[in-house]
Amino acid sequence: MNDWDPLHEGPKPERVRAAGVDLVAGDRVRLRPRGLADIFDLALEGKLATILGFELDYENRIFVVVILDDDPGKDFGEQGKPAHRFFFRPEEVEPLAGTGEDSP
């Protein structure tokens, strides 16, 4: 039996490891969508973004929530409004130099 309750959000991660770096909200990354399966993947490839936080889906997969640095409506994304936040798996973001904590 699955213990997932859609009305109860569990704790969200405060940091996520990507490319050997611990990322936290506020860190900047370059987007590297893996699938290039749709127009969003193609349009967002290589874009610079800032991490807003992290989300877990119902299967406990982690997603990095970002807003695009050059989005004129990024304040809507910061407020959690739709269409200005994007969700990527940790392997789809490339930490920028000076971001996060490098692994020893």
Question: What per-residue confidence (pLDDT) applies to 91?
Answer: 96
Question: What per-residue confidence (pLDDT) applies to 100?
Answer: 61
Q: What is the pTM of this model?
A: 0.83
Give the CATH number for residue 58: 2.30.30.750
Sites in the chain below the pLDDT cut of 70: 1-10, 99-104
Residue 29 — φ and ψ, nearest 5°? -140, 165
Question: What per-residue confidence (pLDDT) applies to 37?
Answer: 82
Q: In terms of residue numbers, what domain contains 43? A: 15-97
Question: What per-residue confidence (pLDDT) applies to 104?
Answer: 44
Domain total for the chain?
Answer: 1
Helices (H), the chain: 39-44, 74-78
Tell me whether residue 44 is in a domain: yes
Cβ contacts of 84 within 8 Å, gap of 6 or more: 67, 68, 71, 73, 74, 76, 77
Per-residue pLDDT tens digits for 72-91 = 988 988 898 888 999 999 99
